[in-house]
Structure 1
Amino acid sequence: MRILLVEDDLSLGEGIRTALRRGAFAVDWVQDGASGLLALRGGGFDLVVLDLGLPRMDGIEVIRQLRAAGDAVPVLVLSARERPADRTLGLDVGADDYLGKPFDTAELLARVRALIRRSAGRANPTLESGPLRLDPATLTARWKGRPLDLTRREFALLRVLMEQRGRPMARDAIQRHLYGWDADVASNAVDVHVHQLRRKLEPGIIRTVRGLGYALGDAVGDAP
């Protein structure tokens, strides 16, 4: 899953990015509101973690313009503004959740997972597909009750395919969800991760959809 972080405090931003990456999220980080809004107009994000006191454009204005454009991407506001009126304003203009600074990174990750789950219309915090079970909170996966030994990238790949179960995802879309804007990614990185995952599951679980990419589960026109 891919997250946009909009935070101008370099130390805090680095800490948040590190925590989110350890949670198997791809993170793109910008440091002012105008750049954040521009990045969001390009699409492809599953969630935004947004500071309010930003240079060039305040976080409240970012949310206003985002919602005015019809973009429903979940927004988690981070702010040192503790007045109830500030929280109310952020939620009323379209934020989905609010976390005051300072905060615990475990709570941040829990709120991120909850917002992504809610936006996908899921009540269950775990992802299940037949005998395959994945727990985003503990970063663990099981196949037929057997624990899977997955790298962080493999876990992230499995999670995004399970979120899109039955629908093919193009390689470049998968790559953005795994790496974000990272420029140092080998052209065959996604194929390598798929190959490794297939070895740890069974043939046919992750399918190649000709001309489209990869899919988990049944999809028309796919082949093992």
Structure 2
Amino acid sequence: MYPSVRQPAYAPTPYNYPPNPSLSSRISLDEEVRLATSSAERDLYDSLAEIYSVIVTLDALEKAYIKDSVTEAEYTEACDRLLKQYKAILSDETVLREFVDLETFKREWDMECPRATERLRIGLPATVEQPTPSNAGVTGAAIAEATQDFITFLDALKLNLLAKDSLHPLLSDVIQSVNKVTDRDFEGRGKIVQWLITLNQMKATEEVTEDQARELSFDMERAYHGFKSTLK
């Protein structure tokens, strides 16, 4: 068993990390350092630095979780917070234009971070994506909450609320409330996770197509019935 190491539930500033010799060796001391010439430019650089910190911290957190150095509750809280920070920073169009995409950013700053890359692609903590067995008793309130979240999501589709920023939070509520009720696999559960990944990779204002909306509605109806079958 590895020694317990508490990971921070927030992304520290990049200045907390020791310098990387492999990066430092490529910096010419004769090259003029470009400084920010305006407050807007300085804010942009600060935001990009925070994204760097989130990625590095998330990668370390994923490794700690795999090594059982953090509890599931600590991991879930910290991972969820880092994912929200990442999305919040990239909600700024200026930052997003400079960032381009995750793979471009990683190449620019010579980053690997494979575990963070996968977690950002999925957009969910590992404990939510694949719940672990629990011996806790299931309450009627938890079942009612999961049922209501399914209905709310399906109603949103019927009302043509098709933007990512409308659907993703509602679908996240579905999977999290379902996980409070059962850790058993059921028909359609995998589709919930797949759609969460699809929505996570869309821009906030981007909408699913009409065909996607029909497919999503069909998959969620099946998932809802699959979930109810686990309660019998």
Q: Which has the higher helix share?
A: 2
TM-score normalised per structure 2: 0.24
Rg larger for? 2
Give the structure with the higher percent strand.
Answer: 1
Greater RCO, 1 or 2 (C-alpha within 8 Å, sep 6+): 2
